[in-house]
Structure 1
């Protein structure tokens, strides 16, 4: 069914004060439906949400919104209370002041028409399985789990009764259970919803997509799998167009060369005839002048044909160009089959890693996954909460191979003056030339390798971190990935999969992304649970 437009952006541009272009002449329509906003890291998705939400002013162009906008940010604040997360703290404070006898206009303005906001909040909290008592609204947001905070923030969006709701990467850091709740919640969503996400399962549940590409915004009606199939058809057509454009360019060049050769032959014939005296000087000058004009016209026409064919070939090449991939040999990571890598005991459960196994670690937020990784990595376990989680957990055999870890947070890269130095810090034996060549294979090319990682896009920082991890000295034969796809665009996820295609060591990946686990060919799954007692882990094979 057709949807009326809820948001229209027309020729929208946004430049930073230093002149950096974030968005350039973007035009798109977002209907009163669920729309996924996708694009590579750095393409301007979050900036576009802020422009739609009125938090930024465009450098050029316009944004037209039908009704009120409510934004759920990517990073939820934990400095306030549950009421702050719900977006009703000001209203509740106004109610309290009025109940205490205040007649100040500011308090009545804060309440507006929302005299029943607490009752509606209680009903909404009950619906999502959280306490509905009034005291819960004053609970500190920092005491909530990530899943609870996300559910409450979404409940706030429902309470706001907004016409347009904006969500920025809502599934980041959510466990599988909370993700499933979010998917169901979005299925029932009323009104216009614009959601920035790289979560494939979420993108299967939208009504349409807007893709921010280097050629502008591309709109598509349907879920991500259909859009992927559509893009594959476009790529095939573009490749056919490229082959045709190359053939036309070759034909135009040959025709231009043939015409030049013919003209040279005609000039030689005319000179011979003149030398023999068969043509008078006046006639020769007349014919030569006419021939030169004709030849000049033909030459210009053929040169223009070549230029047109070159331009068509360049455009066809741009349309057919595939995203860059990373494929690198990693022979030093090889772990022989049968080699004991790790021996871990959780209660009565043995978790042995033998040979180049690939294992996925899953569990609800707060179940102890990160703590378990800390134990494997030999990190400090003195904190009381960590000791409680690790009660009954022991390393019967510490990692018998070199261990590498790619963490969620890459802030450690910011201390390096350049990407080259970041790689050399992990592998001191490598020369600057070696590091530059290595980074080029991770698509950090030319002058970008000399840039500080702090100035790079999220995708570039990820690739620098990946290069640093895989080419550490010694090379990691047990590789740990902790939620590696958080904040990564779809292209970077594919680059991660490609880079690990030739990894020959043991792999332990913490992820709630089933698609990634499948692409990495995970063979076993450790399922962590922790309720009232110590950490428990179930071990099962994945068929």
Structure 2
């Protein structure tokens, strides 16, 4: 299969002068390729460099055509309309002025572009699942996250690139949207690159490129094959590090033993010389020869020790494996008959109802998933339960301590450090107590002082859980809104493990099917019908 993109020795520096990535090389072919890696390693920056949105510090790129990058989120500009996102606003405005009677030649020149593009615009909207009655003057930010992605996807189709790069494309899509996008990826003939941790999506790719602090690793095959190869590589790096550590200890021990033996021989030689009555000149010559020999041996031992130190330092630098996340949730056991959440005729929405009235009472450690298409108001329902939105009708009650975890950690200040966020939300703690709590989740010393927004997704998750779940009151109900959207694979796996041991009740919104499959659901609530289904 022909190579489409060839990257050689790419480097990108941050504003502080540090390299985000350095001297990475790889190729992509006329196929579906995934780029994976830990949060913060530079995947999105790399993608923007490939598309020409950012400038590399060094390296060379060769491609067989134009590249179009689709970001994780639409621009947060409330004034940006749908038609402006597509770059067609001046042409549409001119066409509408002509309809109203304009005879200006400039309007006809601009309107010609709209008349040429209108059919393609509607076709792109149909491809991505947007309605033909779409209000093109509506602000992009007024749509749900999944709808915003569909708009950016349609705009990418209109751009007619030779290569698509999608950054976390499935984060906000509902089940129908995911299937629609996955089918398009499968059938599209042009090369496609996806940056993703979505295991369903990664199972469909032809190759995986793993970006690490030490370079880029190519893995042909699925996500399971990639994880197996990655773990084998990590084990080899760990074995090399263990061997280097043992060698350094052995060299240090041998150096000490040799020094002690040399001192003993020197002492015995001096005593024998004095005992046998050798003249001073001969004794001085023997001493000088001995010292020369000792110096040569000492230099050799020092060289060996330096070599062992360098080997260990190199092994430490090459090791990519990081200590696994430990997310031990507190004991929050519930009595099976304890009422946790009750809703009576509850209707939620912003300005207008999103769904039918909901009524139920759930007891004990239930696990409820809220389902429904994009824009149906799943997040609004959870935020209403948290009293962030008023109910349109009905009422509800939470009977146990509750914690909310959303995909963006909006309730944490990205500019403040982990310890500052923790103390702000747990003011009863002293700074020492807060640091001890962060140390329990391996955020120690200077790491606790890093700005929350600069921590990796896994580190942010640990900070949130340490802050919200390890407080003086143990939460017995977790409300989770797409919690895995911005986590890397290892963070998702750690969260799955933690939630599998959690003994409290759980309400979750998630389109991540492999993640949901680990939660042992007991109920499903489908919107907008408001049907509650008890699972066997």
Distance (whole Å) between structure 2 residues aligned to residue 69 and residue 457 of structure 1: 28
Deviation readout 1:342-392 (Å, 9 max, x if unpaired): 23356798644322233332222223322332343344425xxxx3xx6xx
Contact between 1:52 and 1:65, CA under 8 Å: does it hold in 2? Answer: no
Gaps of 5+ in 1: none
1:184 maps onto 2:183 in alignment: yes
Tell me by how many angstroms 1:30 deviates: 3.0
**1:17-416 matched pairs, under 5 angstroms:** 18-19=16-17, 21-77=19-75, 79-89=79-89, 116-131=116-131, 141=140, 144-277=143-276, 279-317=278-316, 319=319, 321-328=321-328, 330-331=330-331, 333-344=332-343, 351-381=360-390, 387=392, 394-395=395-396, 398-414=397-413
Q: What does residue 486 of structure 2 align with?
A: 487
> How far apart, CA to CA, are the structure 2 residues paired with 1:288 and 1:110?
101
**Deviation by residue 1:40-97 (Cα, 9 ceiling, x = unmatched):** 2222222212222222222333333332121222212464444444455566668889
Give the SS at the match of 1:433.
helix
User: Secondary structure at 1:219's aligned position in 2?
Assistant: strand
Residue 225 of structure 1 aligns to a residue in which SS?
helix
Counterpart CA distance in 1 for 2:150 and 2:403 is: 34
What's the CA shift for 1:200? 1.6
Which deviates more from structure 2 when the two are superposed, residues 206-215 or residues 83-92?
83-92
TM-score, normalized by length of structure 2?
0.85
- Measured after TM superposition, the shift of residue 275 of structure 1 is 0.3
Alpha carbons 1:165, 1:192 under 8 Å: kept: yes
Structure 1 Cα separation of the partners of residues 472 and 479 of structure 2: 16
Q: What's the RMSD between the two structures over aligned residues?
A: 3.4
| Whole-Å separation in 2 of the counterparts to 1:182 and 1:431 | 49
Distance 1:88 1:192 in 2: 26
Query: 1:420 touches 1:439 (CA, 8 Å); kept in 2?
Result: yes
Contact kept in structure 2, 1:351 and 1:539, CA below 8 Å: no
Q: State the number of aligned residues.
A: 521
Pair 473,308 (structure 1): closer, same or farther in 2 beyond 3 Å: same
CA distance in 1, matches of 2:328, 2:235: 26
What SS class does the counterpart of residue 210 from structure 2 fall into? strand
Contact 1:325 1:494 in 2 (8 A): no
Shift of 1:438: 0.7
Contact 2:329/2:469, CA 8 A, preserved across alignment: no
Alpha-carbon contact 2:98-2:107 (below 8 Å) kept? no
User: 1:89–1:273: structure 2 CA closer, same or farther, 3 Å change rule?
Assistant: same
Q: Is the 8 A contact 2:7 2:61 kept in 1?
A: yes
Deviations 1:15-52 (A, max 9, x none): 32x54543334333333322212222222222212222
The residue aligned with 1:526 is 524
Aligned pair in 2 of structure 1 residues 49, 106: CA closer, same or farther (>3 Å)?
Answer: farther
CA contact (8 A) 1:427 1:471 kept: no
For residue 227 of structure 1, report the CA deviation from its aligned partner: 0.8
Q: How far, CA to CA, are the matches of 1:192 and 1:150 in structure 2?
A: 19
State how far apart, in whole Å, the 1-side matches of 2:235 and 2:484 are: 28
Deviation, structure 1 residue 435:
0.7
Q: Deviations over 1:186-209 (max 9, x none)?
A: 112222322222212112222222
